[in-house]
Structure 1
Amino acid sequence: MLLWQARGAAEVRLTSESSVQTVPGAVMGVVTVYEGQALWIPVRTSHELRVHPDSVTVPLGFEAADWGTILREPTLLTVDRDLQHLMLAQHVTSSSAISSAADITRQLLALIEKAPMVSEDLPMPPDGPARQVAEQLRFDPGDTRSVEELAQARGLSARSLERAFLRDTGTTLRQWRIRCRMDAAQTLLHGQEPVSAVARRVGYSHVNAFRRAFAREVGLAPGEYRRQALGHS
């Protein structure tokens, strides 16, 4: 859950199964959330909310079974303009019949995580529109736009974008994108969300297609990779 303090202030008492704070900015205990801030509350964290008089707190819920994230500790965030716009869009689409073609939930999670889930070893185009596309896909590996749509957004033809990726990274955009998604998936699999939630986060609507792609790229099934990563036999 994300608690957005749209006006005034609120106090949130947090209790968790784990007392270890592993994320920079993680908080626990009684937290005061002021106007212009938001508080991320992960799964398995109980909370009690007291909203101050003349204050407005907007709760935004995320189904843990549907969405993987690297935010695993309570975290206090500053709400900038981009985050506010996405939270407003998320609130509208989740509480009304108005829908959006964009995957707002995935974009919102990527923004509040603040750090790409993808390895720094992934080769990047040095500059230009190809670099901009690569940075967007590192920020949001689950971006489902086609090569043609990604190219059009940067004023390129799909062929020009593909040529630039092959020249600058030594691999096609399709291959680069798969590696980007599998890098992100490996990071997400260190959490406890279902494999289906990880698949959806990195752009796969069918979990079996994700499992096949992950096994081809990593050499292990997602479940086996998670067991090894978490030190389980």
Structure 2
Amino acid sequence: MSSLRSFDLTAIPAWPTRATLDGNAPVLLWVVAGSASAALDSGHWRLASGEALWIPAGRRAQVRGASDSCVLPIRVRSADRAAGPTAPTRVTVPARSRDALLAAFMRSLGVLRGGGVRATAILAWIGHGCPVAQPPALPRSPELRRVAEELLEDPSRSPAEIGASHGMGGSVLARRFRAETGWTPVRWRARHVLARAAERILVDGSVAAGVAGTAYGSPQAFARAFRREWGATPGDLLRDHPTPAPVDRRVAVLGPQCNGYHVVVWVASGTARLEIDGAEEPLRASDIACLPAGSTVALRADAGSAVMPIGWLPGGCELGRGVVSRVGPEAHETLIRLAAWEYAGVGPLGAGEARAALQTALGVDDPVSLDPETTRAAYEVLARLARAPEDGRSSEALAAQARVAPAALRRAVEQLTGTTLSTWRARARMSWARRMLREGEPPTRVARRVGYADGAAFTRAFTRAHGRSPKRFQEAELRSLPEGGRGAA
């Protein structure tokens, strides 16, 4: 679809990097190349090339990468925040798992159907075996602790019935329980029951012993519940050796969607198919492709393939459509470093913006001749709106913060992106909305998080952009998930 450009690897700084990891879910900090260190409250870790550090949920880490290092944090889905080792754990990443982990990084960004990566998949790929089945924490407040105790004492009683006996309605109980434990009462009780069953299985060496202590009607029902919560079968607990790294046989799907900026992706391994306004183009390993702004695009990575986003460029740039460059193996670490800079916050010290580096690497000029200060201000505004879709400030307020005239800001955005500021912001909001709906967020919550105080206004805007309501979009997306369910890695 477009002539190929060279990719200047020297435009991507190889300086020391830094990042702060502070999430509510586990993170696998993978040193693809070079060396890095991670300072946690529990100690200081030094990691060499090919090593990774499992960081449990709730742990803050200050990460430093040496010059020429390539450090990639992969975030596990929030639903698995209690999975895996409870202490930082160093592992060596098997060579066979490299492509799977690269694909998992893109899933961890939440842009694909199902968004998120299962802890059990990450642990299997790094050779750690079955994750530890641990019960969730008790509620903090005395009132909810009493409810929790009754939930465990009598599994035959529903949470609604127990909550009512304490003067709490079902919705109030669920909201407060989630706020204090991270789980609904039903899931909280299920994980406690199954964690105790896992202990019995390990002590007695028998799956039947675990089933006997629960209210599940059959071993099959118990196994299904166990796999749903822990991502492994009860029999996996009795294996003497770590689970072998599975090959990811499902496809990864992005879109169809329309953005106000170019998205640049790299096929690290395998093959993929890119569709632009109904025209399909095959992608192969080593391709760098552009998902052009203002077009309806869809990307489907074939089974076992790893496709990574490496950045975005203003929609007004003349970049082309489809494959725009091809690179050799010598570019792999550089492109991973660029992806981590743009999407995971692992940036080189004092190096400026990832967007500018990508633009230079591809030899793409700004679309027009603008005052450098106004151009800088416009890019800052666009980056801020891309990170914070809930920002509903007027162009005047945004211009005041950027210290440029409102008319100058609006003109610069139109010339840099090829569209108006309001249209660019609407497209960025819709991109976030699609991501959160695919993750299973309720449409009412999505509306608030992308800046719509009125749920009806969000529904109208989303329907106008996608031809169907947020609810119908979400239902269709979740129905289309591969076997294994939402959030599968």
Q: 1:163 is matched with which residue?
A: 411
Amino acid at match of 1:209: A
- In the TM superposition, what is the alpha-carbon distance from 1:7 to its structure 2 partner? 5.5
Amino acid at match of 1:175: T
Q: Structure 1, residues 202-224: CA drift from partner, whole Å, max 9, x if none?
A: 11111111001111112211111
- Structure 1 residue 130 and structure 2 residue 378: aligned? yes
2:463 pairs with 204, 211, 215, which one? 215
Q: Which runs of 5+ in 1 are unaligned?
A: 14-22, 35-44, 50-59, 65-117
Q: Structure 1, residues 149-198: CA drift from partner, whole Å, max 9, x if none?
A: 11111111111111111122221101111011011101111022210111
Q: 1:197 is matched with which residue?
A: 445
2:137 pairs with 33, 39, 48, which one? 48
The answer as to whether partners of 1:166 and 1:173 remain within 8 angstroms in 2 is yes
3-state DSSP of counterpart to 2:453: coil
Within 5 Å, give how 1:20-31 maps onto structure 2.
24-26=74-76, 28-31=83-86
Aligned residues: 152
- Larger-gyration structure (1/2): 2
Amino acid at match of 1:200: R
3-state DSSP of counterpart to 2:136: strand
Given the superposition, is the C-alpha separation of residues 119 and 194 from structure 1 closer, same or farther in structure 2, using an over 3 Å criterion? farther
TM-score by length of 2: 0.27
The answer as to whether partners of 1:137 and 1:177 remain within 8 angstroms in 2 is yes
3-state DSSP of counterpart to 1:180: helix
The answer as to whether partners of 2:438 and 2:474 remain within 8 angstroms in 1 is yes
3-state DSSP of counterpart to 1:30: coil
- In the TM superposition, what is the alpha-carbon distance from 1:63 to its structure 2 partner? 8.8
TM-score by length of 1: 0.53
Q: Structure 1, residues 21-61: CA drift from partner, whole Å, max 9, x if none?
A: xx923272332269xxxxxxxxxx96238xxxxxxxxxx97
The answer as to whether partners of 2:136 and 2:181 remain within 8 angstroms in 1 is no
Q: Which runs of 5+ in 2 are unaligned?
A: 1-22, 26-39, 44-54, 58-72, 90-133, 139-178, 184-260, 264-291, 294-312, 317-365, 367-374, 481-489
Distance in 2 of aligned mates of 1:218 and 1:225: 8
The answer as to whether partners of 2:385 and 2:428 remain within 8 angstroms in 1 is yes
Distance in 2 of aligned mates of 1:192 and 1:224: 12
The answer as to whether partners of 1:211 and 1:221 remain within 8 angstroms in 2 is yes
- In the TM superposition, what is the alpha-carbon distance from 1:2 to its structure 2 partner? 3.6
Task: Please provide the CA RMSD for this pair.
Answer: 4.1
- How many percent of aligned residue pairs carry the same amino acid? 31
The answer as to whether partners of 1:2 and 1:61 remain within 8 angstroms in 2 is no
The answer as to whether partners of 2:137 and 2:181 remain within 8 angstroms in 1 is no
